[in-house]
Amino acid sequence: MESLSLNLEDEDLTLATESANPAKCLLVYDFDQTITVEHVFHTTVGENDVGALATTYDDDQIIGWFGGAERVQELRQHFQTLKDTGVQLRILSFGFCGIINYCLNVAGLEGIFEEEHIFGQDSEELIEKQGQKHALIEEWMNNMNLERKNVVFVDDDARNISAVNNTMFCLTVYVKERNGMTDKQMKQLEKHMTQRALELQAAVLATET
């Protein structure tokens, strides 16, 4: 199933001086073939020991999993733009938390995602949901009182995207080619979330006047 269209306009949006409340906007990324271009879990044959991974694969190989140094820089700029806008970023993956965090650090993306916001197959939260990503995202939204249009889920697996689209509780971006988010998709996400942040700020200002 195709993902929901964000229906974004082409006009430029100016970032607000003050970011929106991070608890009001959420962007959830898969890891393999969404943030990375390679399927790290499959490439490493499901390795879950960081020490073993570090001795088997060098830094250049790991950076290559993200598409190389240039794409890593594009990813950092993308993530930082969203954080500056006030969006909370999370990773929801079927990989292992420690491996994901290690790869991010090696690639130069350390500090972008809080460790407590990286969820893998070894996370208690995902285990409790029996590996159902859509169920965990819906729980987050309920707990954080988030509106549908303020939450986007990005994944390369059509089954995960369909599970969300079937209930339509949040927006989705489908990485159909399964070769990492494209520059166009990243810009689309930035524009949508910037617009949402501006609208949230306007609503807050309206209540103060």
Q: Does the structure show a pLDDT above 50 at 40?
A: yes
Q: Does the structure show a pLDDT above 60 at 6?
A: no
Hey, what domains does the chain have and what are their CATH numbers? 24-208 (3.40.50.1000)
Query: What is the pLDDT at residue 202?
Result: 87
pLDDT in tens, 67-111: 999 999 999 999 999 999 999 999 999 999 999 999 999 999 999
Query: What is the pLDDT at residue 140?
Result: 97
Q: Does the structure show a pLDDT above 50 at 178?
A: yes
pLDDT in tens, 158-173: 999 999 999 999 999 9
Q: Give the confidence band of 188 by pLDDT, cuts at 50, 70, 90.
A: very high
Query: What is the pLDDT at residue 23?
Result: 53
Distance CA 84, CA 48 (A): 32
Strand 88-92 versus strand 171-174 pairing type: unpaired
Distance from first CA to last CA of the chain, Å, rounded? 44
Query: What is the pLDDT at residue 208?
Result: 80
